[in-house]
Amino acid sequence: MAIHVDIETGLKALASDKRLYVLELLKDPVGNFPPQVDGDLIADGVCANWLTERLEVSNPQLPGT
């Protein structure tokens, strides 16, 4: 499945410090987050609650929501 994002939209999305920090954290999920009880950090992704903790924000402020 291909996702098309124009350059301007992509650059605006990356203009957020919080979004850039999320990308940085997700580059090494095993090194940046504790092991998950159910699932794999690589195969299943990172729990959104851990992202909000690292960003020190509440869930509604999580970038992209």
pLDDT range class, residue 26, cuts 50, 70, 90:
very high
Q: Are 35 and 41 in contact (CB under 8 A)?
A: yes
Average pLDDT over residues 4-26: 84
Report pLDDT for 15: 85
Residue type present at position 42: I
pLDDT classification of 8: cutoffs 50, 70, 90: confident
Enter the pTM of the model: 0.66
For 15-18, the CB contacts below 8 A with 24+ separation are: 16/63, 18/55, 18/57, 18/63
pLDDT digit string, tens, across residues 43-61: 888 888 888 889 888 776 5
